Structure 1
Amino acid sequence: MISFEQFNAAGTATDAGLFIPVADLPGVDAAELDGTTAGSDKAVLALLNVFYNTLSPTAFDKLGISVAKPNPTGQGSDLIAQNYSMVVDYLVDHEAQAIEMIPVPTVGTQDGVGAIALADLFPTAAAVAAAGVTAAGIVIPNDELAGYGAPLAASIPADARGYLGSLYHYIVGEAVVRSAETASAITAKTRGAATGFTPPPAWTQATNPVSGIAAADLIKRSFFRTTLSITVQLLLDQETQTFDVNSVTS
């Protein structure tokens, strides 16, 4: 299971990181965060739904990130598979020898449009030290996300797209796929190969550009996107008319 810390009540975090309380995890009951694989899978499902529910509406302005949640597919009696995916665009700055998110515009009518705040997805999340946690929820350790390029939770900038992209990458990268030896509700995960693309003209137009990239700098920039995909199996309970993650072995 993914190595974030689960708390079904107030407790002490082993690692510093980002604390996301139950209030920001739709469908999760505090008692379910009991340190088990099922608790981890429930938290993963909640995080994936937050990403989709927040970022999928076309009215929500975002730059360089898109999400999808295809129709679920049947996998047997009262079993369905729900896939989630995110596509993240990156800029390669050859001059600085760095990779970064697509910068948001700083001029014109689009000034600042496309940035995403952490609070847009997790309104009551907060950075915590390796110390007391005052409520039920999960802590995503700084050390875990550092390997995916994320800043420290205490240093997440106002535009949190970099952290959010790293968090999704971490979920897909660290999720354990079900096997004969390992129980999990995760039945598949993939990270697609990086695919180069040419930015649309609107990104660098002279007036009201959609990005913060200057047209004159395009010769020193390259662009690629990566697709992250994960599938969760859900079990339907016909007696209670509810569903839950199906954390079992194959």
Structure 2
Amino acid sequence: MSLTFFDNAVAAGGGNGVPAGLFLPIAVLPGVVAGEFGAGESQATKEGKALLAMSNALFDYYTANSTNLVGLLATRAKASASDVLDNITFTFQHQYVSKLSDASFGQIPLPAAGANSGVGGFAVQDIFAAAADVAAEGAISGEGVVIPYADLSAFGGSAPAGITAGNDNRDLIAAMNRAMADLVVVRDATNASAVTAATQANSISFTLAAAATATTDPTTGLVAGELDKISTVQMSTSYTVQVALNQSAQTFDVNVVTA
């Protein structure tokens, strides 16, 4: 499948083209305005706008809450390609733990005791306040994009139990970040795109901070005495989106061209 865009509200019903997935209206996508997901825009243009907006929203949330998040890191860098072109690179790092005792692999557990008890997870609506979990052939409230759950399953994401405050949607957001490298068109000699690079790095191991398993107020649900029975894994995904500045027209937008 692919990112599915809508330029207006859609009523529920057979054949309406709505896949089961996470719907993000333009109201929660920074920089996207009415009409930019319209039929007159190419798929590549809409993908570039959506990826840039989602990445900025995620980065801003991650950095604003970095001291209270478990297993999530993010960076954003800008490099000038010319006087009128900038390349903006986002890198999202998601950390996991593998337990030998039960052969499991998943998110680092949240602390269950101390001052940090329950702290570290987040819900989709903590980042994208008006996001909606939509069913196949369900209703769409207005202009926006649906990220199909079918495209997230291979990356550990699936239809969530809930996306409102109090739910822990780290798996879903991590899957979104990883899947985007497969979902968006990357610029080459024949394909026009604002996305100049999309990279999924090989997983690496990492060392937990001492605070992660501290006796008092640990920052994770892991226990120091069991560190020899677990393995830590970090997966990184990076995207570079090129934007163009036009001083004469007073515009700033994604630059969709071929290589």
Q: Aligning the two structures, in what range does the TM-score lie when normalised by the shorter sequence? A: over 0.9
Cα distance in structure 2, aligned partners of 1:60 and 1:33: 35
Query: 1:230 is aligned with what amino acid?
Result: Y
Cα distance in structure 1, aligned partners of 2:64 and 2:28: 19
Structure 1 counterpart of 2:107, from 70, 95, 101: 101
8 Å CA contact 2:110–2:119 kept in 1: the answer is yes
Q: Which runs of 4+ in 1 moved over 6 A?
A: none
Structure 1 counterpart of 2:125, from 75, 99, 119: 119
Cα distance in structure 2, aligned partners of 1:165 and 1:190: 14
Q: Offset of 1:222 from its aligned partner? A: 0.4
> Using a 3 Å threshold, how does the CA distance of structure 1 residues 5 and 154 change in structure 2: closer, same or farther?
farther
8 Å CA contact 1:142–1:153 kept in 2: the answer is no
Structure 2 counterpart of 1:33, from 33, 37, 44: 37
SS of equivalent residue, structure 1 residue 143: helix
Query: 1:69 is aligned with what amino acid?
Result: R
Cα distance in structure 1, aligned partners of 2:6 and 2:231: 42
Cα distance in structure 2, aligned partners of 1:95 and 1:176: 41
Query: 2:60 is aligned with what amino acid?
Result: N
8 Å CA contact 2:47–2:184 kept in 1: the answer is no
- 1:46 correspondence with 2:64: no
- Please give the per-residue CA displacement for 1:99-140, whole angstroms capped at 9, x wherever unaligned: 111111011101111111211111111111122212111111
Q: Offset of 1:13 from its aligned partner? A: 3.9
The CA RMSD measured in Å over matched residues stands at: 1.8
Cα distance in structure 1, aligned partners of 2:219 and 2:206: 16
Structure 2 counterpart of 1:171, from 155, 180, 183: 180
**Structure 1: stretches of 5+ with no match in the other structure:** none
- 1:197 correspondence with 2:206: yes
Structure 2 counterpart of 1:227, from 232, 236, 242: 236
8 Å CA contact 2:160–2:169 kept in 1: the answer is no
Normalising by structure 1, report the TM-score: 0.93
| Most deviating of 55-64 and 122-131 | 55-64
Cα distance in structure 1, aligned partners of 2:193 and 2:210: 44
Query: 2:145 is aligned with what amino acid?
Result: I
Q: Offset of 1:174 from its aligned partner? A: 2.7
Cα distance in structure 1, aligned partners of 2:243 and 2:198: 15
Cα distance in structure 2, aligned partners of 1:105 and 1:58: 16
Structure 2 equivalent of residue 212 of structure 1: 221
Cα distance in structure 1, aligned partners of 2:67 and 2:6: 31
Cα distance in structure 2, aligned partners of 1:130 and 1:240: 41
- Please give the per-residue CA displacement for 1:67-89, whole angstroms capped at 9, x wherever unaligned: 1111x212134111111111111
Q: Offset of 1:196 from its aligned partner? A: 1.0
Cα distance in structure 1, aligned partners of 2:156 and 2:66: 28
Cα distance in structure 1, aligned partners of 2:75 and 2:104: 28
Structure 1 equivalent of residue 23 of structure 2: 19
- Please give the per-residue CA displacement for 1:46-85, whole angstroms capped at 9, x wherever unaligned: 1011011111125662111011111x21213411111111
How many positions carry a matched residue from both structures? 248
8 Å CA contact 1:21–1:138 kept in 2: the answer is yes
Structure 1 equivalent of residue 247 of structure 2: 238
8 Å CA contact 2:110–2:117 kept in 1: the answer is yes
Cα distance in structure 1, aligned partners of 2:193 and 2:237: 19
| Most deviating of 47-56 and 28-37 | 28-37
| Most deviating of 44-53 and 60-69 | 60-69
**Structure 2: stretches of 5+ with no match in the other structure:** 11-15
Cα distance in structure 2, aligned partners of 1:110 and 1:154: 24
8 Å CA contact 1:9–1:30 kept in 2: the answer is no
